[in-house]
Amino acid sequence: IMADNGDEDCQYRIKEGDYVVLKRGDIYKAVQIQSRKKVVFEKQWFFLDNAVGQLYSSTFEIVSGGILQPQKPKNLESSSDAKEAGTDNRNIVDDGKSQKLTRDDIETLKEQGLKGQEIIKQLIENSSTFRDKTEYAQDKYIKKKKKKYENSVTILKPSCRILAMMYHGREPGKICHLRYDTLAQMLTLANIHAGSKVLVFETCAGLVLGSVMERMGGYGSVIQMYPGGGPVRAGVESFGFPSHFHDMLHEFPICHVNALLAGTLDTTAKDPSAQEKKMKLDEKRKKLAAATVLLEGRNADGLVIASRFQPCPVLMGLIKFLAPSRPFVVYSQYKEPLIECYTKLKEQGGTVSLRLTDTWLRHYQVLPNRTHPVLLMSGGGGYLLSGTTVAADRSKPAGSQRAEEPAPKRLKMTDTGSGCVSSVCFM
């Protein structure tokens, strides 16, 4: 039993070579654990060697020499003590003279090896207005100084939610401004689950692709339809998937979709550009052939599109590979391209339950007597078009259904008094 517990515990511990996410406040950064490699995060450098063997979600202090040291549990006695606080802030003047410590004094304290908590304590003791502030203002002051002077970092295990928040906070343009709550809705609307066959077309640095793979848990098939010379999977690497996860991943160039639909695709043809670059042609052709076999059945279980390209041509081409009664979802930062998709699908038929939605997200501060919406919020999380494919009846011509409909019935009503006759049409 002890051995089993050790094996289970091992997956929650940081190992060399793991991909991790560093967190401080609302700032995230994805890195790989490498021996004696200097990492720069929030204008500070340090080494991650001492994190190996520690549990994920552990918080570390950065001490001299860039060495990480596990942070001890904070003493809660100071927070339970009664604070001396003022009733309001009306007599406090922000003239910059309330703090007796200068910047040089603070730098001297740092050189003496004082930690962030001790520096904050010195700042409070040398502030002439701290005791006159209200209790809420004191908490706000301490929180602000902690953010500035505490040298701590938390190491997290990568997940879909954490990486989506990281990209949206640091480089939203790389993921087409896809917000994490919108990504969660995409995975739900597309019914991503283990054992399914999913088509993914995205230009979000691999974030959407990695999220689909994480939800499937290494079971099933994911076919990445990519534009250009090769697939982009920077975000997938940050997830740190085991090797067997990559066995389920296939790739197919979007430029060959029309040839595949027409039945003219030749998977044995040589790629001249690849020959020039001396790539492994056999391996590339094998991957193309494997993806072609999966697509030829036209029985995929889901379709996810999130790209900077015009989605309508992509959707109209890839939706033909879905089996009937299967979901699809398309993301766009703007609603106009999705309105075009909606109109085309309505005209073409073969889909039901079409919905064009946008998401609204607002964070709340939840504190005693201070619960309220956060003033700054995301302006928009993009738009989603979702629906379900159905099998179209190809045996009848398009106009036959209208021809078979019975003619509208007319009910004659006679007014015997005036001799007038009127008719009412029932559709």
253 and 343 part of one domain: yes
Beta bridge partners of 424: 411
On whether both 133 and 188 belong to a single domain, the answer is no
Do 151 and 197 reside in the same domain of the chain? no
Residues 182 and 117 in one domain: no
**Residue 98 phi, psi (nearest 5):** -75, -25
Nearest to 250 by CA among 216, 273, 204: 216
Sequence-ordered list of residues with C-beta below 8 angstroms from that of 127, at least 6 positions apart, any chain: 98, 99, 100
Last residue of a domain, one of 157, 184, 209: 157
Mark whether 299 and 170 lie in a shared domain.
yes
Same domain membership, residue 253 and residue 111: no
Q: Is 196 in the same domain as 344? A: yes
The pLDDT value given to residue 11: 78
- What does pLDDT average to in each consecutive run of 10 residues of the chain (427 residues)? 54 90 91 91 88 91 84 56 65 73 77 72 79 80 78 92 93 92 96 95 94 94 90 90 91 88 74 52 77 86 95 94 95 95 93 92 87 85 94 59 51 49 40
Q: State how many domains the chain has.
A: 2
Give residue 10's Cα distance to chain centre. 27
For residue 415, the cross-strand partners are 420
Query: Degrees (nearest 5) of the Cα angle 297, 302, 306?
Result: 120
Q: What CATH number is associated with residue 64?
A: 3.10.330.20
pLDDT of residue 420: 45
pLDDT for residue 230: 83
pLDDT value at residue 359: 87
Give the pair of three-digit tokens for residue 315: 């959707």
Asked whether residue 152 falls in the same domain as residue 173, the answer is no
- Are 173 and 211 contained in the same domain? yes
Q: How far apart are the first and last CA of the chain?
A: 73
| pLDDT for the residue numbered 280 | 60
Quote the pLDDT of residue 325: 94
Which are the contacts of 93, defined by CB distance < 8 A and separation ≥ 6? none
* Contact indicator for 13, 70 with CB cutoff of 8 Å: no
Which stretches within 150-262 are classed as H helix?
160-170, 180-189, 207-216, 234-239, 257-262
Whether residue 412 is contained in a domain is answered as: no
